[in-house]
Structure 1
Amino acid sequence: MKTDDLIDMLSSGPDARPRATPALLLPLLAGVLASGALMLVLLGVRRNLLEELSWPAFWSKLVFSLVLTAAGWLAAKRLSAPGARTAALPFYLSGPVLAIWLAGAFALMNATPDGRADLFWGSTWRYCPLLIALLSLPLLAATLSVMRKRAPTRLRIAGAAAGFAAGAAAACIYCLHCPELSIVFVGFWYLIGMLIPTALGAAIGPRVLAW
């Protein structure tokens, strides 16, 4: 970020909304397209996706991922600006997680003892988080690129926010391939997939976001 840009941002106040310029939006769009292309090449879309679109279980995992994506992008945006309000961010991030955990607990309580293990483990737990993390890499690179154009000060937590946003967005894309429909599975293994790029972003944030 140029010094003049930083002065303009600070003079406008910490919560001023920056203009959404193509220079900021294009990297994010490129990241989404790159992650989508990676999913199509490596995994492909489920053959019965159109049928699954009529199933509430499909929408539950997609909405969960979308809500966390929005919370993650908000966190990344606010942590990119010096002095922006961040006190409510933990609630935005934890709220959807607590909601899906409560739904998962209810599902487990109403399942038969023999069926509870299948609800948690599914059939793809070994590689689901790793695939989400892999799909998040272009999105993580794009998000960090955008944040570098602003003025983050808490570099490690800003990098973590970028990683979480990228992981949640990657989970949305992964929904088009994932065969799992259990809310219990999604509430745990999808979240693990999001936390892997979160840890990566926190690790590289101080170096990548330094200005």
Structure 2
Amino acid sequence: MNTENLIEALAADAAPVGTHVVERRIVSALSIAAGGAIAVLLPVYGVRADLAWLVGTPIFWAKIVFALTMAGAALLATARLSRPGVAIGRAWAWLAVPAATVLLIALVILWLAPPDARASLLMGRTWRTCSLNIALLSVPGLIAILAVVRSLAPTRLRLTGAAAGLLAGAIGTAVYCLKCPETSVPFWATWYLLGIAIPTLVGAVVGEKVLRW
């Protein structure tokens, strides 16, 4: 059998792929990521008792915008990396913008703050647990996103796994804002980014195996 005949034989029973299949799969993964993070948050941590007041404060929305901006850029990178031959383009640059912005603001605040106040601004009250809490909330999303990404036939497995982990971490961070008692920019610029970095690293490590097809 020559190559052309083989291709014709393999394609003979091929069914047409439905429209927007990729988008529907990604949306389902994002829904699981957000719903799973909330399902972990509520029984394990709960939400802030003053949440109704909190949502009226600018700092709450600044944290939400930061997390969702990271998630949006990570989603773009993940979607592109999930398909063979698709260039990632400027997705990494979009990821750098929110991270660099909050880090710059944090450095300015620390520089202007009295020396004896800098430690509390950076460490807050929950630095020991914040990043780990975000990582835990990211677990459902990481599993769901990796499962969807694997079905899209990625070729750059470690990089794709890292992008999926970053997306899960950013979604977990957005949900954690419903609980986090910290309002200092230096705090969440440091520990939120570290919390996002944990599932990113996990995704890169496991991506080589779980995304293989």
**TM-score, with structure 2 as normaliser:** 0.88
2:6 corresponding residue in structure 1: none
Within-5 A mapping of 1:166-185: 166-185=168-187
Name the CA distance, whole Å, in 2 between partners of 1:30 and 1:105. Answer: 35
Post-superposition Cα deviations, 1:7-35, rounded to whole Å, max 9, x if no partner, equal x89xxxxxxx9545544433431232121
1:74 partnered with 2:80? no
Q: Deviations over 1:70-109 (max 9, x none)?
A: 1111111110011212131221111111111111112112
Matched AA of 1:172: A
Q: Map 1:41-190 to 2 at 5 A.
A: 41-190=43-192
Contact in 1 for aligned 2:26/2:145 (Cα 8 Å): no
5+ residue gaps, structure 1: 10-16
User: What per-residue deviation string (whole Å, max 9, x for no partner) do you get for residues 95-136 of structure 1?
Assistant: 111111111112112222211111100000001000100000
Shift of 1:60: 1.4
Structure 1 pair 68/27, CA: closer, same or farther in 2 (3 Å)?
A: closer
Structure 2 contact 33–168 (Cα < 8 Å) conserved? no
CA distance in 1, matches of 2:24, 2:180: 32
Letter in 2 for 1:136: S
CA–CA separation in structure 1 for the residues paired with 2:205 and 2:138: 15
Aligned-pair CA distance for 1:149: 1.4
Q: Which amino acid aligns with 2:206?
A: I
Paired residues of 2:138 and 2:169 also in contact (CA < 8 A):
yes
Q: Distance in 2 between matches of 1:183 and 1:98?
A: 13
TM-score for the superposition, normalised by structure 1: 0.89
2:33/2:171 contact within 8 Å kept: no
- Percent of matched pairs sharing the same residue: 42
The aligned amino acid for 2:203 is G
| Structure showing greater Rg | 2
Secondary structure (helix, strand or coil) at the match of 2:79 reads helix
Partner SS state of residue 155, structure 2: coil
Q: Cα 1:35–1:22, aligned 2, differ >3 Å: closer, same or farther?
A: same
1:60–1:183 CA contact under 8 A, matched in 2: no
Cα distance in 1, alignment partners of residues 166 and 176 from structure 2:
15
Among 33, 36, 48, the residue aligned to 2:35: 33
Match for residue 204 of structure 2 among 202, 205, 210: 202
Say whether the 8 Å CA contact 2:73–2:92 is kept in structure 1.
no
Kindly provide the amino acid, as one letter, of the partner of residue 115 in structure 2: P
Query: What is the aligned length?
Result: 201
